[in-house]
Amino acid sequence: MEPTAPRMLDFHVHSFASDGALGPAEIFRRARVAGIDVVGISDHADFSNAVRLVQENLQAASRERRLHGGVIAFAGIELTHVRPAHIPHLAQTARHAGAEYVIVHGETVVEPVEPGTNRSAIEAHCDILAHPGLISAEDAALAAQNGVLLEISSKDGHSLSNGHVASVARETGASLVFGSDTHLPGHLKDRDAAARVLQAAGLDAAEVEKAFSNALDLFRRLFDQFVRKDVDNGEK
């Protein structure tokens, strides 16, 4: 089975298992109606809840993607305000628990995230560094080297540094990805709305398409690793 190329993908969505307003089932339905073909739940986590959240959301995501007419769902995690020294261990713990991708809550300009979080996340090879704030050129260059996607966020507050992130990514060759950081129903963005956020960050048309393509590349890797085996096992 080969997946149809999705038009819109969003890997940064929160459920009420952390601080979102919706359960996974409603997220999937609202995403489908909003024209989002691929959605990942990445609830906020530290050592106290990461394994539980991964296991709960993995059950919801795997059931959703086995049905026709829904979205292709994935279960991730967002390591949030974790001390930089602990990020590599927790990222590994989450992956061992079944996390299909790992986001790290970056050094946003509107929260007191500990300095060094961006670098630790990149060194730990997280999949996405969310809202990395005033990320340095050195860290962005390392992200490019390690294949870590830097997020352009549509979330209020976190989006204040989008222009800086876009500029540094262009300078260093780091790859960008859109993330809604959805907590409420109105936060979900279709492709046109996401494109406007990317354009507002200073990306030209080709760079906007590249950000969507980067999300598609992540999807294809996750599909091959986690969804195709369900098909091969006759579970879909």
In the chain the first and final C-alpha atoms are separated, in Å, by: 10
What proportion of the chain, given as a percentage, has pLDDT over 90?
92
> What does pTM read for this prediction?
0.96
pLDDT, the chain, mean:
95
d(CA 91, CA 213): 25
Here the tokens at position 52 are 């539980």
Q: What is the rounded distance in angstroms from the CA atom of residue 226 to the CA atom of residue 211? A: 23
Task: Say if residues 43 and 57 touch (Cβ distance below 8 Å).
Answer: yes
- Give the angle 145-147-150 at the CA atoms, nearest 5°: 105
pLDDT at 236 over 50: no
Q: Residue 232: is its pLDDT beyond 60?
A: no
pLDDT-derived band at 6, boundaries 50, 70, 90 = very high
Could you report the per-residue pLDDT of 70-92, keeping only the tens digit for each?
A: 899 999 999 999 999 999 999 99
pLDDT interval class at 69 (50, 70, 90) = confident
| 122 has a pLDDT exceeding 70 | yes
- What is the three-class DSSP state of 34? coil
pLDDT exceeds cutoff 70 at 1? no
CB contact burial 123-148 (16+ within 10 A = b; e otherwise): bbebbbbbbbbebeeebbbbbbeeeb
- pLDDT score at 70: 85
The domain 9-227 is placed in CATH, from the list 2.30.110.10, 3.20.20.140, 3.40.50.1700, 1.20.210.10, at: 3.20.20.140
**CA distances from residue 155 to 123, 131, 152, 194 in whole angstroms, order as listed:** 25, 9, 9, 11
Tokens in use for 208? Answer: 């906007």
Helices (H), the chain: 24-33, 50-65, 87-97, 117-123, 137-146, 162-172, 191-200, 205-222, 228-232
C-alpha–C-alpha distance, residues 105 and 45, integer Å: 10
Structure tokens at 91: 């990222």
Residues 135 and 162: their CA atoms lie apart, in Å, by 10
Better pLDDT: 231 or 87: 87
Closest CA to 151 of 175, 125, 182: 175
pLDDT in tens, 167-215: 999 999 999 999 999 999 999 999 999 999 999 999 999 999 999 999 9
Q: Is the pLDDT of residue 36 over 80?
A: yes
